[in-house]
Structure 1
Amino acid sequence: MRIQVLGTVRAWLGEQPVEFTSAGQRAVLGLLALAGGQPVTRPELIDSLWGDDPPASAVNVLQTYVKHLRRRLEPDRPARSRSLLLPHVGDGYALRATADTLDLLCFRHLHAQAAAARHVGDDRRAAALLEQALRQWQGAPLADVPQLAGHPKVVAVAAERAAALARYGELKIALGEVAEALPALEEAVAAQPLDEAGQARLIRAYAAAGRRADAFEVYHAARRRLADELGVDPGPELRAAHDAVLRAEAPVIAAESRPRRHVPAQLPADVPDFVGRDGELARLDALLGSPTVVISALSGTAGVGKTALAVRWAHRVRTGFPDGQLYINLRGYDAERPVAAGEALARFLRSLGVPGQEVPLDTDERADRYRSLLDGRRMLIVLDNASSVAQVRPLLPGTAGCLTVVTSRDALPGLVARHGARRLDLDLLPHADALALLRRLIGPRCDQDPAATDELAERCARLPLALRVAAELALSRPSVPLRQLVGELADERRRLSMLDAGGDPETGVRAVFSFSYRQLPEPAARAFRLLGLHPGPDVEPYAAAALFDTGVARARDLLESLAAAHLVQHHGSGRYALHDLLRAYASELALLDGDETGTARMLDAWLHTAQTAMITLHPAERDRYRLSTAPPLPMPPVGDPMAAQMWLDDERGNLAAAVAYAAVHDHSAHAVALTVTLLRYLEGGGHVAEAIAMHTHARDAARRTGDTAAEAQLLNNIALIYSQQGRFAQAAEYLGYAIDAARRCGDAAAETRALGNLGHVDAWLGRYESAAAHLREALALCRRTGDRPAEARVLGNLGQIYRRQGRHADAETHLRRSVELCRSISDHIGEAYVLVTLGHVEAGRGRLIDAADHHRAALTLFRRSTERGGEALALDGLGTAELALGDAAGFDHLLEALTIFRRLGERAGEAQAGNSIGEAHAAAGRPGAAREAHTAALSVAREIGDRYEQARAHSGLTAAAEALADGTAAATHRDAAEAILTEIGAPRPAPILTGTTRPA
């Protein structure tokens, strides 16, 4: 028995999850668990469950909850016998649990051991014990019992975790392991945002790790919260931490405390009851002595055990690869859903610590980054189910010390010839090993009829997968002699052979599948067929319920019955997957059955849940998502932001696969709607690779079905994604396609948006005349159609172009009109963007106080929304204005802006804020620091093609070189700045003044 309350309330009997049929049962179990073994009286339980207004039947209802809990948690307890787990104690109940059976008690036990270790001075052991204790937590205590969220015991237990987090952070800092402390300290601060001691601790840790910008951001965020919520200024401890950062008094970082490399551990679970393959394992062992990159290509027919062998061996040798193990199922033999090399590289890069927004869009660039990250590491990489050398080649490391294992049905001769792979061809299991596996799985019945066991091994073609399925079939029919089962299987095999005139070599395994499938009750058989239509890598009960057209509990039961028959596999907590050969077989059955309505139901469910989740995360944008009709089936719980985010993260792979599937299976509308719905989640979460892939599939579907309006919208989105990555040439190309599509279908709104975005791109590239022409065309169009929101955006962007050209009066006229329109339509985000530009115009005209006021107003509006990029723009503008007014706090705002831009992966903003910081250093008489900041900004600006920020960086580098008496460098940068400014038709940028346009 295991019980979990540090997160959702769950229980297991062995490996079997216990099903609770009501929230009341979970609430009672959770309250008893939080009491830590102490009795809880009935009045206390009733008060917790119903407060001041309990129903007249409260006692009876409580007794019913306890009765059902006892039945579920102690199913083997004789009737009317005393409960050992939930006994009566006085006028109440108690939960009899230990640290081995209840996660809360385990946490407390480890926490106490950590305190004892700390008491005797063993800080390293104390930190290790606290880390182990914190792993017990899966979320807020009793997370799925919302009525108890504010209960004193729940609050007290959450406080225990906060204290453990804080202590763990302190110990890690004391041990010189600052990078390892930061996640714990950040989490502690997020849980208690008004805890000044915790904020100060995090500031000191950031400073020790060299992340001064993050330290400043924490201080200013804390200062704002204290002022807004408590009306007080920071206390002495928080101020002291901030002052130390300002004076650059951060402690020295020990060598071992530098940011630790990510160490992925992605191997699947080892295969139970593994039999044989001793020779193959020995040959793999021999590869470990090679001083160079080794690629072992395991090839063999489907179901022969390639994956099982690779995973078994990988677990045997994993300790020899201290930098981690990467694993991916490339699904190379899935005709419709193989994993492209670029997608696999994106997954690996994220596993190696690359933020999603920094994953390159080009496959070759991803491969370069991947090989660079592996340089000098000793890692084990398992590439499972590859279909070709082309799918594998970009995933191969380029450094000594790494070892790659590739499994494939193909011999992959190109890997051997070009990359020196050692090929290991897997044959069928030797007859003796096949018998040994059957004996291990079935037991004594094999010895009772050895002849039937021999024949069963041959009927299964000595393929491990087929042997396991047949063994489970035998176990499910204990009264049927093995001889009878073998005879029935022989008939099935002959039937399949007659259907397959070509002599399919997989007839044996298909016969086993077919026979096992025919033993299923019809509901389970139907569920198996329908799973063949599921496009994603795994399935959870809610999606299965939509696919099967059942309730969630029933769907879970069907999945469990299929798992028991070895026709699906457990794939993480509450998730299930199919072996690729079984998937192919299920797909074949589904096509023969002709029932494709399940796919439509599942796509409907995914779409509605995705829209609901996005509305939960961004309620102000409800109208944007056009919520579809709710399917008549239960939906996953996505009503609170944390649950919505978790569902999107968990289902991202399935949603991406759903779009690819829908795009080529007559579900174009679903492909488009899902893609458009998820745009903000994908770009905001840094999942740029997935965003581009999904939009490409959806655009192709729209094009095939002649939905030109959808095509225009998707092309616009693709351009926006490229633009935010600083890939302006690609953005301009897609916007040209979008304009053409919009004109072909007469979609004036889409044309306006594309023209406005093209003006935005041209502005970044310094093509001001072209940008203004596109924007004026867009302005005329939206005025003709009466599109006031679009008119407000275009006016704001035109104002920015005129500001860049030094036409301040024209800029101010357009910007003030844009502000009026935004306010009239309650477009507060649009208003904020325009106020930022208006602030820069005011600064350019010498009205610095007005400029600062505009930026502060914009900052307030941005912080009421989720527009983090806009917040960074306002901070950059406010910082420049404050510095020009002599307020040193402006420098902190510039650092905060740079931090946000980098976290978002907004390269244009990073160049802009970097130049602002360089100008601030120059104004403060720090030419060396100014040169460093401008050099970094110039590198980013060149990378993305931002000509204005390039000129600004060259201007700053000119001033820095002059201050450092480097005449040659000053002349070089001065000439470069003048050349760019002449090219783009703009005056020299005024120091500490900047701005941006806003995409539509």
Structure 2
Amino acid sequence: MSHTASSTLSVQLLGTLRVWSHDEEILIGPPKQRALLALLAIRLGVVVRREQIVDALWGPEPPATAANGVHTYVAGLRRALDPVRAGRGSGEVLVTRSDGYELRLPVEAVDAALFVRQREEARRMAAAGRPEAAFERLGAALGLWHGEALAGVPGPFAAMERVRLREMRFAAVEEWIGGMIAAGGSEEAVVVLNEAIVQEPLREKLRYLLMLALSRCGRQAHALQAYSETRTYLDEELGIEPGVELRNLHARILAGTVEGSRPPRSPQRETVPAQAERRSTAPTAAAYLPSHLPSRANVFVGRSAELRKVREMLTRESPERGRATPILAIDGAPGVGKSALALELAHESLDRFPDGHLYADLGGTSDHPLSAFDVLAQLLRNLGIQRASLPTDLDGRVMLYRSLLHGKKMLVVLDNALGADQLRPLIPQGSACLIVTSRQPQRGLVVRYGAHRIGLKPLDRETATALLLALTGAEQGTDRRSAVSRLAELCGCLPLAIRITAGRLLGDPYASPERLAALYEDPLTRLELLAVEGDDDMSIRSVITVSYRHLSEETARLFRMLCRTGLEEVGPMSPVQLMGITPTAAASHLESLTDHGLLEQTGPEEYRLNDLVRIYGAGLAEVRPQAIPLHTPRKLAITQDPDGRRIGGRVS
């Protein structure tokens, strides 16, 4: 065997199929040729008959050209693996036999063959009373893996072989973790087991080892919780109970007779949240309960219809009724109170979700929204996963997140979402409930997941007045209701503007509703006053700007035009006359403005500009197309299209 052939080749099967020669990767060729190499490498040193190759590559119904195809792929492999072979000879790596072909390489050159050998060696070491050596050899064997075996290799043989190799891999993982626990590495084993169970949730041996490791760490509460989750999962997925070994271990944990177990740590030595380790006076100890909701608004007024709708939804789609994850999607204009409503609903519903409450601000209203990858890191950390144990890829984090929430009655609040791509990986499964807030309607959640959408509008004037009175104290407003009502109206009946205004009234001993209303009558002054210095989230101008920045250039131009006309109500033909565009284009622009919360749809073909939004838009860069006369607002208000529909709207 030449030095330039078999002694310098190495083949990777435990991951994407790759081949190296002299430490330089070489190309193997088309998919079927790669599949042939995988077959020969798996059967290393064994003659594979031609009919077996045909079955492996094409299945039970091969094409008439299959036999010729085998010859073609064999020739291609020889050129790739042994380019210096003499003439058209058989070569030293891929050898022709009477009825087939044999790949001749050392075991060390094919990772799958080396994995099998090292695992067998580890078993012999363990049987000979050398557990430390067995543990190290198993670790070396598992270190050969680089992902799913035969990734990307086509054909029925590769599909079956992937299943066989995966089974061998996780059997080795179980043996290796068993050695880790026996050597006193239970805490390290817990981390590895959590990741392994995400990939193989039905392997009871992994769950047995997790319960054992947790118990030996002194975390009996977590061990019991792991059993409960396993029982629920097996029942939901397969309709079966845990096996005898799991049930026996569960009984031993309850009885406190698990060998090698430590008692729960004292409070002075706790290294995880106290709730996770503390003994309970209940029959079983309480596990770590994540609770990360921000506080609700100190005063909440109105939204009774929305609250009633959600209560009905939670009752109708409770986990006990076997429904999928209930999803509530709240959308609306900037400052309309989406987050306040979401948190009010969340705090009101805490008792429905005894397993915990998660919250994340997705930053969709900022210049730098979070990626799903980063949000999952935050959520997993809140669920008790250590930073060092976080999966390094998105799919891994999604699987771990959904696995941890599986079967649990948890509430997840995702505030300020940007869109479907950001949200999709964050949707839990099973018994959890999800509340999402966003400026744009999340129609994808409605279509794909059956989400319940609530489109928030500004408060009516009476409710807005009641909110301002409640925030400032009823005794101040009883004899000044007219001024307070006018002040609420000047706030556009937006809850954010009303809360900022209440802060001004409470923070200035000389302020009064009458004086502040007089200042608000000037539009530019009003926008300047509706802000809390140093807090962009408490600034009407800032929150509207975020939506404006997301508009296309032409939609932004239309927005400025509409605001400068002074129109309060807008018809479907307004953009047509203002910009000279088609009705179809006009409808698209109006939909975009509505989706970004800059225009409120009040009917099938009726829209309204909130007063504060209109003031903001009118104060942007000058837009004076010559085709628009100075009296355009009045003309638009009375113009009709050929079908008699109103084009413009009422002039304020």
TM-score normalized with structure 1 length:
0.29
Q: Greater helix share, 1 or 2? A: 1
Instruction: Give the structure with higher Rg (CA).
Output: 2
For CA contacts below 8 A with separation 6 or more, give which structure has more relative contact order. Answer: 2
TM-score normalized with structure 2 length:
0.43
Q: Greater strand share, 1 or 2? A: 2
